[in-house]
Structure 1
Amino acid sequence: MPTHTVQAQALSTHDGAPDVRLSAGTAPVACVDIGGTKVAVSVLDSQGVRGRLVEPTAREGGADALAQQVLRMIDGSCRAAQVSREDLAAVGVASCGPFVLNQGSIELAAPNICGGLAGAARGLPNTWRSAVLEAPLRAVFKQVRIENDGIAALEAERRWGALQGLDHCAYVTWSTGIGVGLCVDGRPLHGKMGNAGHAGHMFVSDNDDALCGCGNIGDLEALVAGNAIPRRFASRGYADAAGLLQAARSGDAQAALLVDDLCRILGRALYNLVVTLDLQSISLGGSVFWHHRDYLLPRLQAQLSGRLPALTEGVELVAAGLKDKVGDYAALALVA
């Protein structure tokens, strides 16, 4: 795969996020971010991120519906950026997982996309056990790299974000699901199928009333993920994660207790990562976390601070340095 020289520079805007661009004269690349709720596609070249399109993640139709959506969105992004699809040097895909291989090609066995994993009780409008992804893309593009979105975001945060210079670190997204990328001794961890970091499916509580899309009952993702919150708390008046968090911030005592419990559960998982891998820092992003990071970060940090100081002293939880652009740059990090 060709290597693209990328330089990062700080934007002269209020948010301070790096503006990552390809070097002049370098062919453009397509960046695809697949999550359980949305798909975002953009083209990146020497002018930066352009032609960004966002759509709800395809969950209906044939098992190749997601791949066909990605191909269509790449075409649309190219048109919006006034770039020819044939000029793309590579396509980087940062996707939620887990991944499975079908005749050597990656498919997604993603709990928040594939309804055939947990069955009808999960409420997804399909019976897929996996969603086709890699084969249709490789039929069109010569250079395609697909990685778990946690690993891709970790690479981006280490290159341009809050984890620069760190050899023992992690990236965690608190969004529709819970995604994790891990790095030890300067090496991102991949595992036998590229699924290292699926800590969202660890058990950190005795709760047994929450069904995860993977079929587990009471795992981390089933308890705290963005799509778990309405399933667990709608009957108490909180229709979504944003509503629960806003209520907590506004002084709703019940909501505050529920959010504190979510932070205790997720904080235990972060603690487990730190003491298992001897990490220096964890960067956090994702829609649930990002919009309420000032409220959530100290509550999560409290689950580490003071516990087994030999392993946790000085370990910091930090907001993603790439801010809400982590997904775009995660895909770029795969092909840059």
Structure 2
Amino acid sequence: MTQNVLTDGFQLAPGAAPLACVDIGGTKVAVNIVDDQGIRGRVAEPTAKVGENDALARQIIRMVSESCDLAGVDVAKLAAVGVASCGPFVLNQGLVELAAPNICGGLAGTARGLPNTWKTALLEAPLRQAFPNVRVENDGIGALEAERRWGALQDKGQALDHCAYVTWSTGIGVGLCVDGRVLRGKNGNAGHAGHLFVSDNSDALCGCGNVGDVEGLIAGNAIARRFAADGYADSAILFEAAYAGDARAVAIIDELCRVMGRTLYNLIATLDLQRISLGGSVFWHHRAYLLPRLQVQVRGKFPALTDGCELVPAGLGARVGDFGALALVA
């Protein structure tokens, strides 16, 4: 495919064929069309988690068609479909299926509360039957590529060579770049730092089946599971209580930041990074409160490794997921 070029207004060059951009999260799926008139036809809805394990793929095919209709674009004229998805991935005959803890209920079993018994969710194979050109990547990689092209992982207009994107959202996701190369791994799963063990706490069941990994401890859906009995039914309520001076809520958030801070330190120490861009719904909605607490967790820890590495908010803000899918095909 001839590579399309974006203009300064985040639209394709005049006459370029349209692109579909799909962002799959554990909570919602969003689809946009991008063409020479800009980013248009956005549709979003809760991620499909019931029925057969092709339900998510069928949802995406329908939503791409709906997005095209809203944008006034012929779906047959799409040049490519970029899919940035939560993972991990499993390859079946070279094609991506999702083994995503917040989508596939068969991974951790009934205790996790998901309404299916899927071990994987079909994705790439059905999409390739519907569309001629599809690229599927982990959403951390998509967001990383977007932040390096248009966001906070640049320096004087040049993409940084040693950097990461970290999302703190329904789950915990990471995209990694070292020596100017985006890391993917054998199945495209490099960067799944959300499933690291960084604490002795073992009261949190992750959707992957681990007990006490980063995602099980601090992800958006983990906050509700762990602290509803304390009166904090979701992350919004927890943070509202902290802002109001609730000492218990403040202590909980400080502990969440300690876990995330250890995760960020481990990434910096392992990969010798120069900047980490942070996004995701939990972080983004409370970034002014969380960022200094995360910086404290890293600052001064073995300065030979941590000096010179910045923690910054995502330059693309709340739309980093949309631009992540676009970066895969633009």
Alpha-carbon distance, 1:179 to partner = 0.3
Q: Which residue of 1 aligns with 2:21?
A: 31
Identity %: 71
Q: Which residue of 1 aligns with 2:146?
A: 156
The structure 2 residue matched to 1:146, chosen from 136, 158, 161, is 136
Does 2:286 match 1:292? yes
Alpha-carbon distance, 1:104 to partner = 2.4
How far does the alpha carbon of each residue in 1:53-85 deviate from its partner, in whole angstroms, 9 at most, with x for none? 010000000000000000000000000001010
How far does the alpha carbon of each residue in 1:240-283 deviate from its partner, in whole angstroms, 9 at most, with x for none? 01111121112111100000000010010000000100000100
2:132 maps to amino acid? K
Gaps of at least 5 residues in structure 1 are: 9-18
Does 2:31 match 1:41? yes
Q: Which residue of 2 aligns with 1:3?
A: 3
2:40 maps to amino acid? R
Q: Which residue of 2 aligns with 1:195?
A: 189
Per the normalisation by structure 1, the TM-score is: 0.96
Cα distance between partner residues in 2 of 1:44 and 1:246: 37
Specify the SS of the correspondent of 1:79. helix
Alpha-carbon distance, 1:2 to partner = 3.3
Specify the SS of the correspondent of 1:173. strand
Cα distance between partner residues in 2 of 1:231 and 1:45: 41
Q: Which residue of 2 aligns with 1:249?
A: 243
Count of paired positions: 326
1:242 maps to amino acid? A
Q: Which residue of 1 aligns with 2:179?
A: 185
Alpha-carbon distance, 1:313 to partner = 1.2
Cα distance between partner residues in 2 of 1:114 and 1:284: 26
1:83 maps to amino acid? V
Does 2:225 match 1:235? no
Alpha-carbon distance, 1:6 to partner = 1.5
How far does the alpha carbon of each residue in 1:9-58 deviate from its partner, in whole angstroms, 9 at most, with x for none? xxxxxxxxxx4211111111000000000000010112221010010000
Alpha-carbon distance, 1:103 to partner = 2.5
Within 5 Å, which residues of 2 pair with 1:264-283? 264-283=258-277
Specify the SS of the correspondent of 2:10. strand
Cα distance between partner residues in 1 of 2:249 and 2:99: 33
The structure 2 residue matched to 1:327, chosen from 297, 300, 321, is 321
1:6 maps to amino acid? L
1:201 maps to amino acid? H
Gaps of at least 5 residues in structure 2 are: none
Specify the SS of the correspondent of 2:68. helix
1:31 maps to amino acid? C
Specify the SS of the correspondent of 1:32. strand
Runs of 4+, deviation exceeding 6 Å = none
Q: Which residue of 1 aligns with 2:109?
A: 119
RMSD value over aligned CA atoms? 0.8
Which stretch has the larger CA shift, 138-147 or 97-106? 97-106
Q: Which residue of 1 aligns with 2:72?
A: 82
Q: Which residue of 2 aligns with 1:105?
A: 95
Cα distance between partner residues in 2 of 1:144 and 1:210: 36
Q: Which residue of 2 aligns with 1:11?
A: none
Cα distance between partner residues in 2 of 1:315 and 1:245: 27
